[in-house]
């Protein structure tokens, strides 16, 4: 994959006719102008990140019969960290947003590997990841516009970011604009985000973004209202509020994901009523 790095609007995936003007697509028509112009994109090789869960959570999940909670028991690959006194799993990052530098990083080697593993062109993985990371920047910019620090609650931030990514890809897919096969990009992003419902750690919060996308699939105006409302609230959500804690708990491994309706109600309260 060849992606131009540095400040600038264009991202080129492959080197031929798949030039993608991400800038225009991301900033129009939903999320306000100039967002991407002010981020810096850097391409790196790969990076491993560890996710941790407590010993007691791990042990409880291990004892839970698989038939009772089939969606929440992907325990494979977790190892014991004796220094942290916790279980951890390692995953290769596809991309990340670095708030201190307002920088989007894409991990090229991992993007290539995932695209091979999932049998999709690498631009599907690359574009989805890039748009996801840019939305973190959009949220950061929104916080600053409101005179706030970019302080997020990860379970909300990642759900809203995945939700926004799918909504934008869906829009681009319906428009059929440019030379990119947007429907392919959307299909990959949908299956990738939905699969995160099945994992332990913070991943179900990402998967909840897929639930939000489906829930609002027939009402774009309402979806945009929620996203705009989140942008208004960033940096002002009280982490100690009981609804916030409850929402976080609901997306915790010990709770079955089937209570996503309750997650939705809690998120509504947090965004619109608090």
Query: Exposure of 228 by Cβ count < 10 A (0-12 exposed, 13-18 middle, 19+ buried)?
Result: middle
**# residues near Zn ion by CB under 5 A:** 1
Q: Which is nearer to Zn ion, 51 or 64 (CB)?
A: 51
- Site for Zn ion, residues 12 to 71, rule: CB under 5 A: none
Q: Which is nearer to Zn ion, 61 or 193 (CB)?
A: 193
Site string for Zn ion, 113-152 (x = CB under 5 A): ----------------------------------------
Question: Rounded to the nearest whole angstrom, what is the least distance from the CB of residue 55 to Zn ion in the complex?
Answer: 27
Q: Which is nearer to Zn ion, 155 or 260 (CB)?
A: 155
Q: Which of helix, strand or coil describes residue 83?
A: coil
Alpha-carbon span 122 to 14, nearest angstrom: 8
Tokens at 181, concatenated: 């096969």
Compute φ and ψ for 225, nearest 5 degrees. Answer: -60, -45
- Site for Zn ion, residues 151 to 170, rule: CB under 5 A: 158
Question: Rounded to the nearest whole angstrom, what is the least distance from the CB of residue 126 to Zn ion in the complex?
Answer: 15
Question: Rounded to the nearest whole angstrom, what is the least distance from the CB of residue 158 to Zn ion in the complex?
Answer: 5
Q: Which is nearer to Zn ion, 108 or 158 (CB)?
A: 158
Question: Rounded to the nearest whole angstrom, what is the least distance from the CB of residue 64 to Zn ion in the complex?
Answer: 28
Question: Rounded to the nearest whole angstrom, what is the least distance from the CB of residue 128 to Zn ion in the complex?
Answer: 11
Alpha helix segments (H runs only) across 44-153: 55-63, 108-117, 122-145
* Helix, strand, coil % in the chain, rounded to nearest 5: 55, 15, 30
Residue 65 burial (CB count, 10 A): 8
Give how far Cα 188 sits from Cα of 94, 149, 194, 209, Å. 14, 33, 10, 14
Tokens at 121, concatenated: 């062109």
Question: Rounded to the nearest whole angstrom, what is the least distance from the CB of residue 195 to Zn ion in the complex?
Answer: 15
Q: Which residue has the tokens 């391409």?
A: 43
Q: Which is nearer to Zn ion, 163 or 247 (CB)?
A: 163
Question: Rounded to the nearest whole angstrom, what is the least distance from the CB of residue 209 to Zn ion in the complex?
Answer: 10
Q: What is the DSSP letter of 9?
A: S
Q: Which is nearer to Zn ion, 13 or 160 (CB)?
A: 160
Question: Rounded to the nearest whole angstrom, what is the least distance from the CB of residue 132 to Zn ion in the complex?
Answer: 6
Cβ-proximal residues to 54 (8 Å cutoff; 6+ apart), any chain = 86, 87
Alpha-carbon span 211 to 224, nearest angstrom: 15
Q: Which is nearer to Zn ion, 73 or 125 (CB)?
A: 125
Q: Which is nearer to Zn ion, 73 or 263 (CB)?
A: 263
- Sign, CA dihedral 227-233-237-241, equals negative
Residues that bind Zn ion (CB under 5 A): 158
């Amino acid at each position: 994959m060849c992606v131009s790095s540095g400040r600038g609007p264009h991202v080129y995936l492959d080197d031929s006719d798949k030039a993608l003007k991400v800038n225009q697509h991301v900033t129009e028509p939903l999320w306000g102008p100039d967002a991407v112009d002010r981020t810096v994109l850097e391409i790196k090789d790969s990076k491993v990140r560890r996710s941790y869960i407590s010993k007691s959570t791990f042990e409880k999940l291990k004892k839970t019969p698989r038939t009772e909670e089939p969606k929440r028991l992907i325990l494979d690959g977790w190892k014991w960290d004796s220094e942290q006194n916790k279980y951890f799993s390692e995953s290769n990052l596809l991309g990340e947003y670095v708030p201190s530098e307002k920088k989007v990083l894409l991990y090229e080697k991992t993007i290539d590997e995932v695209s091979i593993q999932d049998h999709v062109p690498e631009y599907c993985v690359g574009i989805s990841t890039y748009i996801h990371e840019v939305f973190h920047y959009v949220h950061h910019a929104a916080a600053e516009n409101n005179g706030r620090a970019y302080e997020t609650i990860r379970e909300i931030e990642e759900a809203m970011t995945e939700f926004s990514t799918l909504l934008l890809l869906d829009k681009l897919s319906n428009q059929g604009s440019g030379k990119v096969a947007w429907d392919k990009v959307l299909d990959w992003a949908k299956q990738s985000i939905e699969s995160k419902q099945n994992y332990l750690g913070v991943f179900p919060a990402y998967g909840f973004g897929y639930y939000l996308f489906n829930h609002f699939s027939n009402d774009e105006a309402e979806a945009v209202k929620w996203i705009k409302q989140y942008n208004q609230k960033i940096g002002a959500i009280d982490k100690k509020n009981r609804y916030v804690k409850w929402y976080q708990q609901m997306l915790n491994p010990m709770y079955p994901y089937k209570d996503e309706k309750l997650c939705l109600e809690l998120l509504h309260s947090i965004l619109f009523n608090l």
